[in-house]
Chains A and B, each alone.
Chain A
Amino acid sequence: GAGVSQSPSNKVTEKGKDVELRCDPISGHTALYWYRQSLGQGLEFLIYFQGNSAPDKSGLPSDRFSAERTGGSVSTLTIQRTQQEDSAVYLCASSFPGLAGSSYNEQFFGPGTRLTVL
């Protein structure tokens, strides 16, 4: 049964290094979301993809954060020059696209990547 998968499950890095986090959504889900869960900020939205386009990047905290999606499937979240405040669990979710004007489509979450910046 293919749920949302994320890799790595844990990542420890040194301050200033770049990291890449990967998300494999459920097959057929064209909508993909990245969220971040941290002690200080709770659960916060980062970026939304519809297909390979990212119409909402409003949650990315700085220009050190970027994300891409290829083939309407796998997505990679990249954090450049990591800082200690980037330490968090990064969650990916996917869903079917919402109909125009609809207000809901269930998002299925992956297990997350725990990032620790030393």
Chain B
Amino acid sequence: GNSVTQMEGPVTLSEEAFLTINCTYTATGYPSLFWYVQYPGEGLQLLLKATKADDKGSNKGFEATYRKETTSFHLEKGSVQVSDSAVYFCALSDGATNKLIFGTGTLLAVQP
């Protein structure tokens, strides 16, 4: 079945450091791919998405590119801020129902 694997956390970085959170997927067909973010004490929010191969999703300085050849959707940001501290979830959508299949989540802690 479809699945998502993302790197274990926690990831601890200093402010202005470069961020990569790896995500790979297994899926039949061509799912859409997502990054969701959960800030402390808040609900799950869509951060960015890509719906087909080679698409790049971007938002708030974060980017991820849908790589079909490597079945990956790694999240990157060039310069993280303390306010980026949160749990990040990679996910794919099942085309038949659009239900989301999530990775385990990666806690990011950014220190000033």
Contact = CB atoms under 8 A, between A and B. Distances in A.
Contact of A109 (B45, B96, B98, B103): B45
Contact of B51 (A56, A59, A103): A103
Given A91-B44, A109-B44, A104 B89 contact: no
Which secondary structure dominates where chain B touches chain A?
A: loop
A45 B100 contact: yes
B102 A106 contact: no
A111 B38 CA distance: 10
21 contacts: A31-B98, A33-B100, A42-B102, A42-B103, A42-B104, A43-B89, A43-B102, A45-B99, A45-B100, A48-B99, A56-B99, A93-B100, A98-B98, A103-B93, A103-B95, A104-B32, A104-B98, A106-B49, A109-B43, A111-B42, A111-B43
Given A35-B100, A98-B98, A109-B44, A104 B105 contact: no
Interface in B30-83: 30-32, 42-46, 49, 51-52
B101 interface: yes
Contacts of B51: 103-104
A88 to B, nearest CB: 14
Nearest to B102: A43
B28 interface: no
A68 to B, nearest CB: 17
Given A42-B103, A43-B105, A44-B102, A56 B97 contact: yes
Nearest to A41: B104
Nearest to A105: B98
Given A93-B100, A103-B29, A104-B51, 17 more contacts: A31-B98, A33-B99, A42-B102, A42-B104, A43-B89, A43-B91, A43-B105, A93-B44, A101-B95, A103-B31, A103-B51, A103-B98, A104-B32, A104-B93, A105-B98, A107-B98, A109-B44
Contacts of B52: 103
Interface string A29-61: 001010100000011110010100001100100
A106 B46 contact: yes
Nearest to B41: A111
